[in-house]
């Protein structure tokens, strides 16, 4: 139920008087005037969810009108706004009716249009009821529906819309992270815009195709996090989505494993991000709370080489990395990436530097599989040395290109580090979206500022 300050009859009467006075002042400008408010039943007219509905409507309205003048009043009696333009009032009214009737939240929008002479344009047909689809005025006068039922309909309409919108935004970020990662050039031993690295069975185009088919599954992971409060049960939901995602990936790539590791890592984070949209939580803590499920013997028994090393206790791999809260990302990759951006590097070049930082620290199970533990340790030592030396970017770039040639010749590919680079991108841009208020978090988690 919507909660907030309840308005009285006197409050609404005063609000109507103010509205008339304000509206008249704008009508005197000689322009077409649109007055926007919300149709919300009951005494609560201002609540966080309603504000978001208003801002959504205002955004769509401004896209259509391109108003020369606009002003918003944020009051407990309900937010209101006025928007002036030079377009003919009749055409504006048609556009506003279309917005009310086609936008998923349009039934909550109240868009009144006034011509330059102050005349209010009427609707050619009545609006429908929120619940039954009959004429809204008839249902309101006869009070057929209870207030709790009407408010429940309002909340469901708004929540369903914003849940889908937010999940889609994060799914887009997940796809973008995969696209950015494969596009970073040069990446020693990995597919990039220069070459196919140490891979004979895949190229840039195959990675682009794979990333595009995974977006919907990542969006579903976010929605799963919104619905399932218990992290362990959430993991099992994510696991089923991950199985489907891998099957779709292999179908798109003719069986080639382009993103299996990323499906695990990014799928976990997408679920955790979705969880944080609905429950007061920290996404890293949510991933940690899933760990008993994805570290369980039955979950590691059928995995690949990384799972075998995990079972042997010789290398934790991505499972332990995730269970520990992605320390390689949070403590190493993110600081390196941010520092590079602050120094003026492009996202591509920042990605190159971040990958080298990961290569110098992370025991990559794919490197161990292809070259053995001694070779993997030797590569880590060389990459760490490059990161520590006071080199210019051009010098670092030349070393990275030479390393790429060596990796190709020795059939080495740091696929695990590539996945962590994608996770870095996802986290960075998710935090940017949170900071810009593009996502409505139910509660900012402890350490939010430090994580950005």
What is the pLDDT at residue 138?
A: 82
Question: Quick check: 345 and 393 in contact, CB under 8 A?
Answer: yes
Domain shared by 62 and 207, yes or no: no
Domain shared by 273 and 187, yes or no: yes
Domain shared by 302 and 173, yes or no: yes
Domain shared by 127 and 178, yes or no: no
Domain shared by 126 and 194, yes or no: no
Per-residue buried b or exposed e for 306-316, using 16+ beta carbons within 10 Å of the residue's own CB:
bbbbbeeeebb
Domain shared by 224 and 139, yes or no: no
Q: Is residue 414 part of a domain?
A: yes
pLDDT class of 400 with cuts at 50, 70, 90: very high
| Per-residue pLDDT reduced to its tens digit, 67-113 | 999 999 999 999 999 999 999 999 999 999 999 999 999 999 999 99
End position of a domain, from candidates 80, 113, 145: 145
Is 114 in a helix, a strand, or coil? strand
| Separation between Cα atoms, residue 64 and residue 68, nearest integer Å | 12
> Percent of the chain scored above 90 by pLDDT?
76
Domain shared by 64 and 171, yes or no: no
10 Å Cβ neighbour count for 302? 7
| Separation between Cα atoms, residue 73 and residue 19, nearest integer Å | 10
CA 436 to centroid of chain Cα atoms: 12
Domain shared by 329 and 181, yes or no: yes
HSE of 282 in the Cβ direction (CA atoms, 13 Å)?
Answer: 12
Domain shared by 210 and 358, yes or no: yes
| Separation between Cα atoms, residue 410 and residue 161, nearest integer Å | 51
Q: How many separate domains does the chain show? A: 2
Run of H or E including 379: helix 365-388
| Per-residue pLDDT reduced to its tens digit, 176-213 | 999 999 999 999 999 999 999 999 999 999 999 999 99
| Separation between Cα atoms, residue 282 and residue 451, nearest integer Å | 11
Domain shared by 120 and 242, yes or no: no
Nearest to 422 by CA among 288, 276, 318, 323: 318
DSSP-assigned letters across all residues of 234-302? HHHHHHHHHHHHHHHHHHHTTT--SSHHHHHHHHHHHHHHHHHHHSS--HHHHHHHHHHHHTSHHHHTT
End position of a domain, from candidates 118, 145, 172: 145
Q: Is residue 3 part of a domain?
A: no
Q: Is residue 336 part of a domain?
A: yes
End position of a domain, from candidates 145, 176, 209: 145
For residue 104, the enclosing domain spans: 9-145
Q: Is residue 360 part of a domain?
A: yes
Q: Is residue 359 part of a domain?
A: yes
CA distances from 290 to 93, 224, 272, 306 (A): 52, 13, 9, 19
Q: Is residue 80 part of a domain?
A: yes
Residue in the block written with tokens 């907030």: 4
Can you give the pTM of this predicted structure? Answer: 0.88
Per the prediction, the chain carries an average pLDDT of: 91
- Indicate which CATH number applies to the domain containing 387: 1.10.4200.10
| Per-residue pLDDT reduced to its tens digit, 295-354 | 887 665 455 655 555 555 555 578 899 999 999 999 999 999 999 999 999 999 999 999
| Separation between Cα atoms, residue 321 and residue 318, nearest integer Å | 5
| Separation between Cα atoms, residue 139 and residue 107, nearest integer Å | 15
Q: Is residue 220 part of a domain?
A: yes
Per-residue buried b or exposed e for 248-287, using 16+ beta carbons within 10 Å of the residue's own CB:
bbbebbeebbbbbbbbbbbbbbbbbbbbbbbeebbbbbbb
Domain shared by 290 and 414, yes or no: yes
Domain shared by 117 and 169, yes or no: no
Q: Is residue 152 part of a domain?
A: no
């Amino acid at each position: 139920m919507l909660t907030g300050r309840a308005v009285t009859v006197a409050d609404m009467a005063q609000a109507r008087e103010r509205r008339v006075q304000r509206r008249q002042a704008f009508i005197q400008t000689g322009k077409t005037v649109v007055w926007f408010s919300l149709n919300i039943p009951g005494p609560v007219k201002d609540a966080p969810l309603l504000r978001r509905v208003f801002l959504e409507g205002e955004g769509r309205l401004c896209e259509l009108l391109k108003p020369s003048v606009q002003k918003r009043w944020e009051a407990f009696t309900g937010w209101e706004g006025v928007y002036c333009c030079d377009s003919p009032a009749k055409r504006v009214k048609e556009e506003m009716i279309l917005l009310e009737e086609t936008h998923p939240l349009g039934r909550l929008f109240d868009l009144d249009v006034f011509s330059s002479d102050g005349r209010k344009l009427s609707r050619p047909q009545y609006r429908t009821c929120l619940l039954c689809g009959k004429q809204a005025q008839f249902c309101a006068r006869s009070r057929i529906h209870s207030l709790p039922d009407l408010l429940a309909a309002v909340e469901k309409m708004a929540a369903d819309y914003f849940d889908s919108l937010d999940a889609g935004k994060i799914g887009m970020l997940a796809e973008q992270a995969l696209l950015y990662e494969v596009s970073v050039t040069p990446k020693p031993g990995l597919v990039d815009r220069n070459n196919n690295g140490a891979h004979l069975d895949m190229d840039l185009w195959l990675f682009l195709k794979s990333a595009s088919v995974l977006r919907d599954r990542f969006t579903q992971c976010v929605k799963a996090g919104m619905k399932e409060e218990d992290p362990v049960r959430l993991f099992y939901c994510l696991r089923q989505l991950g199985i489907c995602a891998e099957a779709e990936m292999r179908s798109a790539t003719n069986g080639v494993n382009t993103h299996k590791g990323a499906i695990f890592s990014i799928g976990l984070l997408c679920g955790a991000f979705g969880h944080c949209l609905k429950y007061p939580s920290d996404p890293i803590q949510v991933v940690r709370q899933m760990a008993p499920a994805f570290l369980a013997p039955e979950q590691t028994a059928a995995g690949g080489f990384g799972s075998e090393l995990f079972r042997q206790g010789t290398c934790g791999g991505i499972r332990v990395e995730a269970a520990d809260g992605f320390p390689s990302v949070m403590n190493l990759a993110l600081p390196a990436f941010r520092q590079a951006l602050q120094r003026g590097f492009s996202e591509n070049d920042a990605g190159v530097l971040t990958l080298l930082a990961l290569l110098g620290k992370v025991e990559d199970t794919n490197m161990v599989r292809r070259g053995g533990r001694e070779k993997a340790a030797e590569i880590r030592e060389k990459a760490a040395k490059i990161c520590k030396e006071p080199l210019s970017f051009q010098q670092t770039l030349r070393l990275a290109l030479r390393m790429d040639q060596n990796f190709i010749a020795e059939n080495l590919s740091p696929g695990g580090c590539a996945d962590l680079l994608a996770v870095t991108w996802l986290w960075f841009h998710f935090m940017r979206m949170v900071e810009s208020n593009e996502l409505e978090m139910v509660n900012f988690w402890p350490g939010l500022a430090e994580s950005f």
